[in-house]
Amino acid sequence: MTKGSIEVHHRVCHLCEAMCGLVIKTERSKVVDIRGDQDDPLSRGHVCPKAISLQDIHEDPDRLRKPLKRIRTVAGEYQHEEIEWSEALDLAADALASAIQQHGVDAVGAYFGNPSVHNYGMLTHQRNLFRHIRTRNRFSATSVDQLPHHLVSMWMFGHMLLNPIPDIDRTRYFLMLGANPLASNGSIWTVPDVRRRIKDLTARGGKLVVIDPRRTETAELASEHHFIRPGTDAAFLLAIIHVLFRDSLVALGPLANFTDGIDEVREAVQALTPKWGSEATGISASEIVRIAHELAAAEAGICYGRMGVSTQAYGTLCQWAIQVINVLTGNLDKPGGSLFTQPAMDQVVNSSPGGFARFTSRGRGLPEFNYELPAAALADEIRTPGEGQIKVMFTGAGNPVLSTPNGRALDEALEEVDFMISLDPALNETTRHADIILPPTSPLEHDHYDIAFHNLAIRNTSRYSPAVFSKPEGALHDWEIFAELGDRLADRLGVESVPHLAPHKIVDAALRNGPYGDDSGWGLSIDTLRANPSGIDLGELQPTCPQRLQTPGKRIALAVPEVLADIKRLLSDKTHNSRGYRLIGRRHVRDNNSWMHNHQRLVKGKPRYHLLMHPDDVAEEGWETGMQITISSRVGQLSTTLMISDEVMPGVVSLPHGYGHGLKGTRSAIANANAGVSCNDITDEHFLDQLSGNAAINGVPVELSGA
């Protein structure tokens, strides 16, 4: 559509999981306005302050437009300089081929970061390269994040991507642990405009109960907030399950026809009384009993937990207990409870169900999940000599130096690989180690279909976004870089390459073959979506079980042996509930992990990377706001500014992640001027959810000194 010289584009925001619809106005090659798309059936006009930064990302003078090669200067220092695409791709392919020919495919390590799931070309075309590199040394941000969700879904429902989604718009009672959607805009739960949805919930007489060691923005809006000692949620949840059995509140409804393992679960929680739960968590036994009763009595209720409960020492046990509670109260697969989506491009049908512990890491014997090893083992796998050692490292859309535990050790290890390739638009803390950086087009220069997050949304919708700007001369999209590199590697290895089908063609085929495709009344395709630029509403979530279950016999498996064994680990763990300061993270609505600190409109205002500490603790230590505090853990220490806040509970300190910029050789002027410290310099790569190998970046034991 053209109005004078102003062009109007419809676009989905890909920055977080909320998938807000946008209307972007441009004049020639400039963005002149970005606002919410009122006609988007999911986001209904909502945006957060990050939406406008799509313009800043596009215009960022530090964003790489051409490949960089790292060279050593006469002074012995490293620096990056621009080279042509063909040279960069050849150098990268040479390094990969020679590592594979000399040492085998495991000599290539790969780490994929969070934005790789928000960029559909990265999802569709990774295999153009990695089908030639079936390495065991694959890592991703999943294992510093949602791995327990996938594992539990695989075990209980038969597919790692069959994640139940909280039906907030129809619920009466919402028990939320370790999530702060007011800042994060929802996770494993695509829920744009969550503030209004929470307000609507309480306005219709429903309740939101938040369990969090910090009184977050979400807790402020909740009907109730309870502090919990970090890392002890499993005890709270298991005690709730105990009460459901003890007080005869178990009522599965229709789920009873296809659920197994209830007796084993009853048996496993028999001794886990509210009193026991209370000792660990700090939440009183009577409150635990009351919450269990209220959830069970609600006409429709939800138990949901996110980052704060998956990235802790019992993350998998927590996510399992959450789903068990939803099943035992009859709230799974029920409107107003938690439901499975029926997306137009169904990842449950289109991808592998997942697998666990088919091999382990060489260094510490940590289990793979879905052919990925835990990110906490990456530095080990670079450093441990012998067969399978990583010689060439590939990173795509990730910044593990700032985002994975003991990032400093990884920062050092990355200097030890023979060659490193990064697919990334930024010269940052991680990519500064790369010999070759391959920068893709900006988000506004490529089209988008959200392959991942329609699968997790509170409503079934479908939306395609054409590119806002055409691709600059010579530039390549992420998917084209994978395809080009894949071809070159295939050539060097003497194997066949894969055809390059543009991502929208792959999506078109999936849509037309999907549940709303050619064989349905919807006739969904890229063409129908082009004709409906604000997206198409496919309706609210519906009960889908048992048909949607992917387990043998289409049954829900409650008694997961690995998890039941983990309850015993919890019971014998003397450190689980030990006193001393515990470190937790926090998110701010204007941050996005480590990578959006180079945009003035997002970083303006007071610095956001100070340490929060409760007034009683500060008084006891004899400290005051503004002091420099040294925080130490098993792996290292850092210093930052103290801020008194009764938002955090006594015994808990909070630092956000994703800061710690300003390292030598990086190129991000604004971020480097607001560098902050990286809390992952003190999170511990040995402090894990031992069952899954997921990093425990919350509840890390730390010591403080005011020197």
Ligand X SMILES: Nc1nc2c(c(=O)[nH]1)N[C@H]1C(S)=C(S)[C@@H](COP(=O)(O)OP(=O)(O)OC[C@H]3O[C@@H](n4cnc5c(=O)[nH]c(N)nc54)[C@H](O)[C@@H]3O)O[C@H]1N2
Binding site for ligand SF4 (CB under 6 A): 13, 15-16, 18-20, 47-48, 50-51, 185, 192
321-326: list long-range contacts, CB under 8 Å, 24+ apart. 321/234, 321/237, 321/238, 321/240, 321/241, 322/177, 322/237, 323/152, 323/156, 323/164, 324/241, 324/265, 324/558, 325/175, 325/237, 325/240, 325/241, 325/244, 325/295, 326/164, 326/302
Looking at the Cβ atoms of 322 and 345, the one nearer to ligand X is: 322
d(Cα 242, Cα 238) in Å, to the nearest integer?
Answer: 6
Q: What is the DSSP letter of 80?
A: E
Q: Which two tokens stand for residue 605?
A: 């205002």
Give the residue carrying structure tokens 């071809």: 487
Minimal distance, residue 519 CB to ligand SF4, in Å: 32
In terms of Cα–Cα distance, which of 593, 657, 596 is closest to 187? 593
**From 53, 143, 187, 323, residue interacting with ligand X (rule: CB under 6 A):** 187
213 lies in the binding site for ligand X (CB under 6 A): yes
Looking at the Cβ atoms of 164 and 443, the one nearer to ligand SF4 is: 443
Looking at the Cβ atoms of 524 and 704, the one nearer to ligand X is: 704
For residue 235, give the amino acid letter: A
Q: Binding pattern to Mo ion, positions 574-593, x when CB under 5 A? A: --------------------
Pick what 370 binds: Mo ion, ligand SF4, ligand X, none; C-beta below 5 to 8 Å, kind-dependent.
Answer: none
Minimal distance, residue 403 CB to ligand X, in Å: 3
Minimal distance, residue 121 CB to ligand X, in Å: 8
Whole-number Cα distances in Å, 178 to 83, 236, 319, 358: 45, 12, 11, 30
Secondary structure, 3-state, 541-610: CCCCCCCCCCCHHHCEECCCHHHHHHHHHHHCCCCCCCCCCEEECCCCCCCECECCCCCHHHHCCCCCCC
143 lies in the binding site for ligand X (CB under 6 A): no
Strand runs labelled E in 387-428: 392-396, 419-423
Half-sphere exposure of 705 (CA within 13 A, CB side): 5
Minimal distance, residue 116 CB to ligand SF4, in Å: 17
Minimal distance, residue 556 CB to ligand SF4, in Å: 32
SS3 56: helix
Looking at the Cβ atoms of 37 and 145, the one nearer to Mo ion is: 145
CB-based burial, 655-664: b 16+ in 10 Å, e otherwise: bbbbbbbebe
Residues 622-661 that bind ligand X (CB under 6 A): 657-658
- What is the Cα gyration radius of the chain? 25
300 lies in the binding site for ligand X (CB under 6 A): no
Ranges of H-type helices in 172-215: 181-184, 194-203
d(Cα 584, Cα 670) in Å, to the nearest integer?
Answer: 26
Half-sphere exposure of 338 (CA within 13 A, CB side): 28
486 lies in the binding site for ligand X (CB under 6 A): no
Minimal distance, residue 496 CB to ligand X, in Å: 26
Residues 102-131 that bind ligand X (CB under 6 A): 113-115, 119
Minimal distance, residue 48 CB to ligand SF4, in Å: 3
- Cβ pair 666, 679 in contact under 8 A: no
Looking at the Cβ atoms of 294 and 445, the one nearer to ligand X is: 445
Minimal distance, residue 517 CB to ligand X, in Å: 28
In terms of Cα–Cα distance, which of 608, 596, 609, 673 is closest to 638? 609
Q: Binding pattern to ligand X, positions 672-691, x when CB under 6 A? A: -------xx--x--------
SS3 229: coil
Cα dihedral 340, 343, 349, 352, rounded to 10, equals: -70
Looking at the Cβ atoms of 308 and 533, the one nearer to ligand X is: 308
Give the residue carrying structure tokens 């990884």: 410
In terms of Cα–Cα distance, which of 244, 230, 231, 312 is closest to 273? 244
Looking at the Cβ atoms of 171 and 683, the one nearer to ligand X is: 683
Minimal distance, residue 379 CB to ligand X, in Å: 14
In terms of Cα–Cα distance, which of 687, 130, 122 is closest to 372? 130
Stretch that binds ligand X, among 100-108, 272-280, 291-299, 390-398 (CB under 6 A): 390-398
Q: Decide the pairing of beta strands 611-613 and 637-644.
A: parallel
Minimal distance, residue 100 CB to ligand X, in Å: 22
Looking at the Cβ atoms of 149 and 667, the one nearer to Mo ion is: 149
592 lies in the binding site for ligand X (CB under 6 A): yes
587 lies in the binding site for ligand X (CB under 6 A): yes
Looking at the Cβ atoms of 118 and 555, the one nearer to ligand X is: 118
Minimal distance, residue 643 CB to ligand X, in Å: 15
Secondary structure, 3-state, 561-573: HHHHHHHHHHHCC
Minimal distance, residue 348 CB to ligand SF4, in Å: 23
Q: Which two tokens stand for residue 620?
A: 């006891």
Pick what 15 binds: ligand X, Mo ion, ligand SF4, none; C-beta below 5 to 8 Å, kind-dependent.
Answer: ligand SF4
Give how many residues touch ligand X by CB under 6 A: 63
Pick what 156 binds: ligand SF4, Mo ion, ligand X, none; C-beta below 5 to 8 Å, kind-dependent.
Answer: none
Q: Decide the pairing of beta strands 6-12 and 2-3.
A: antiparallel
Looking at the Cβ atoms of 134 and 604, the one nearer to ligand SF4 is: 604
> In what helix (H) or strand (E) does residue 10 lie, and over which residues does it extend?
strand 6-12
Minimal distance, residue 163 CB to ligand SF4, in Å: 19
Residues 15-44 that bind ligand X (CB under 6 A): 16
Helices (H) then strands (E): counts for the chain: 24, 34
Pick what 700 binds: ligand X, Mo ion, ligand SF4, none; C-beta below 5 to 8 Å, kind-dependent.
Answer: none
Q: Binding pattern to Mo ion, positions 349-388, x when CB under 5 A? A: ----------------------------------------
233 lies in the binding site for ligand X (CB under 6 A): yes
- Cβ pair 409, 436 in contact under 8 A: no
In terms of Cα–Cα distance, which of 334, 350, 353 is closest to 515? 350
**From 228, 239, 321, 536, residue interacting with ligand X (rule: CB under 6 A):** 228
Q: Looking at the chain, how many residues does it have? A: 707
Minimal distance, residue 255 CB to ligand X, in Å: 26
Minimal distance, residue 21 CB to ligand SF4, in Å: 9
Pick what 551 binds: ligand X, Mo ion, ligand SF4, none; C-beta below 5 to 8 Å, kind-dependent.
Answer: none
Looking at the Cβ atoms of 183 and 285, the one nearer to ligand SF4 is: 183
- In terms of Cβ atoms closer than 10 Å to its own Cβ (0-12, 13-18, 19+), residue 509 is middle
Q: Binding pattern to Mo ion, positions 117-146, x when CB under 5 A? A: ----------------------------x-
Pick what 20 binds: ligand X, ligand SF4, Mo ion, none; C-beta below 5 to 8 Å, kind-dependent.
Answer: ligand SF4
The residues of the shown chain that bind ligand X, judged by CB under 6 A, are 16, 113-115, 119, 141, 144-145, 177-181, 183-185, 187, 211-214, 216, 228, 230-231, 233, 306-309, 312, 396-400, 403, 423-426, 428, 440, 478, 584-589, 591-595, 657-658, 679-680, 683, 697-699
The residues of the shown chain that bind Mo ion, judged by CB under 5 A, are 145
